[in-house]
Each structure stands twice: as structure tokens, then as C-alpha cells.
Amino acid sequence: MQWVNEAFAVYDKTTGARVAGPTNGNQLFQNLGATHPCAVNNDGDPIVQYDKTNNRWVLTQFSVTNGTTSGFYQCIAVSQTSDATGAYNVYAYKEPNFNDYPKFGVWADGYYATYNMFAGNTFTGARLCAYDRSKMLTGQAASEQCFQLNSSFGGVLPADIDGTIAPPAGSPEYFVNFGANSLNVWKMHVDFTTSSNSTLTGPTNLAVAAFSEACSGGTCIPQSGTTQKLDSLADRLMYRLAYRRFADGHEAMVVNHSVNPGTGPLSGIRWYELRISGGTPSVFQQGTYAIDSNSRWMGSIAMDKVGNIAVGYSVSGTGLQPSIRFATRAPGDAAGTLGAESSIIAGTGSQTATLSRWGDYSALTVDPVDGCTFWYTTEYLKTNGTFNWSTRIASFRLPTCQ
């Protein structure tokens, strides 16, 4: 399944054929009532997740049109079966302010989300929330529990489980963002029965190799054939914060963002692997991928079941139209390194006029059936233009994963 701002579609992963859609996102929420903002507004900023433990689809977007009068909502749909084209249990959660840039993760005891909250044009900090998965799976009323951070913290990601091995019993949900040459980690313990027992602790600060944000967090990514530059979105971590517990018991999380490599391109992929021991995360390895004069950004990272790491991303330069590529590493490779990259598709268009935004994020996930196949999707252009983007869905796997 893929959802791009206004509509989603379902595909056969074997043939690539579209089997349903495109369908406007707000159509999921008609059972909330014809006049409910989630049913009326189709505002986007969507996330598609698959709950691998319960074999359910989790779909969400926000409703923010006329939010100051009608309320700001996060609209969440949980499939009643593993069939993405079937029926959904639907929920709407009213947020206190504009709940921008939602990011979701599936954890052992709930669904978790982060938002960048705005009061008018003023950023008020990240909001970290948990949703009662057990109730949502059965269509019962389900609570939301949230903690509000101050305006010093934004762009936080929730950990999202890959694989079939659950975290150790009682493990908190982890949240991460970056600070000055560091990562910040929070832990949330949620009691859906007695909310006063729920806690958020942190941040714990983890030192990392010094970095500066690509394009100072803004727009500078070059393209071929135009002076129009693209937004790096380097002021935040890139989706997902992928968690996996391996057969030998070790726990790891991987995440990435775009940095200025210092020499060569204007943007490279900084990636991290965190290991968790006794509930305490630490930096296990890190690296910056910048192998030539082209800029790489808008990455997404994940691990397969044997510990191979893959990163998908966009790549562009003065002699290259925005294209889609990926790089991988095996557990035995030198620490902090990624191997040679592979191409998913070479773009044949550049974004022109005055449009700099290049999406909000991309997504690399791992097939829940085999634990080996990586699925990556992001955008590209077939011809020069504005608002004429296309998306690509690609799969690949490493031969060492069986």
C-alpha cells in the first residue's frame, strides 16, 4: 500500500498490479459521520504502517482545515483483518494545536506517534503520544495518552518494530531526535488503564561525530538543467527509527538524516546504529555516505533479519536529475561504512519554477513474510516541471539473507 498526501492505492506485491484505488484518504473515515472533520477534510501528511504482530494495516492522516474553529484532529484507521482493501476501525483524536508532521511507530504495547505542534505560526515543541492498540484492534473506544515537550525539541521519531521477535517484556517505547552533535533519547512507559502511571523520561544525550545540517537545514540541493534548488529537510531525522530484536537477543535501532559532508557534495546521508542493553541505548556505529559530487538526501534506513542494513535515498547534482538509489552493508563490513550504491530509477526530469519542497519523507520497510526483502518508495520526475512528480516502489534483498 502507498499513500501520497491526498490518496492511497493498494498493489499486488508479486505482480505490481494496482488492485484498489487511488482512493481519497478521507473516505476511510466516513463511519465517523458525514460532517466529522476527518470525513470531510482530506488534508494528508499520511502514514501507512503494518502491524506485523497482529497482521493489521494502520493508516493515518491529519485534519487541520479550519482547525482553529473545527479542531485539529489525527485520524487513524486500523484494518479489521490483514486485507488492506477490507473494513477498518476508525478513530479521531482532537489535538490541542496544529499537529504537524505526524510520524507513527508500532510497538509491543501500542501504536505511538510524534507531532510537531504549532500554535498559529509558533512552534511549541514535539508532542509524543500513545494509542491503545488492543482496543483499536477490536473496534472499541481507545484512549490517547500524550506528553508535550518544550519548543527546544522537534522532529522526534518513535521506534517502529521490524521482525517477529518482540522487545523484552516491559520495554518502553523509544523516541529519538538530534541535537548539536548528539542524539536525544526518550523512553515512554504507558498504562492505558491508569493514565497517571504513565511516564516519559529523558532526554538522554548520546554524543555522535560532529555534523552540520545539509543546506543549514534548508534549500540548496542542486539539479541538472535548472537553477532551482531542492529542500534538504536536514533539520530533522528522517523516517523511520527502525527497531529490531535479533535471534541472538541483541536489540538495535537505525536512523538517518542529511548532513553537510564538508567536502564534495552539499548533502550526504549520516546514519546511526544504536544498540540497546538493559534498556539503555548507545551508539554502536555511525557513518556519513557521500561518495562523489552528487548530493544524497531524504533517506530511509532499515535492517533485515540477519543484520544487513540498507538505506534508500534521493540523489541529485548539477549534472544529474533527481534519481532514486540505495546502498547496503553486511554485519561483517567495516564499521560505519556502506557499500557501493545501486540504482532504482534514473530521474528524467528536474523540478522547476519556484518549488523547492521534495516531499516530506521516504520509506524503507522490510517484508514481514520473509524478513529479508526491503521495500523502498520515494518520488522522482519523468519530465521537467512543477507538481508533476511520480513515485516509485522498488524491492531488493541481499543474498546473505535467507
Tens-digit pLDDT profile for residues 247-298:
999 999 999 999 999 999 999 999 999 999 999 999 999 999 999 999 999 9
344 close to 394: Cβ distance less than 8 angstroms = yes
C-alpha distance across the termini of the chain, in Å: 24
Q: What is the pLDDT of residues 325-346, one digit of tens each?
A: 999 999 999 999 999 999 999 9
CA 60, CA 104: separation in Å to the nearest integer? 9
- 270 strand-pairing partners: 257, 288
CA 317, CA 312: separation in Å to the nearest integer? 17
Q: Helices marked H in 56-187 — which ranges?
A: 67-70, 133-137
| Per-residue pLDDT band at 90 (split at 50, 70, 90) | very high
CA 11, CA 333: separation in Å to the nearest integer? 35
pLDDT for the residue 314: 99
pLDDT for the residue 89: 99
Instruction: Give the 3-state secondary structure of residue 154.
Output: coil
Quick check: pTM over 0.75? yes
| Per-residue pLDDT band at 360 (split at 50, 70, 90) | very high
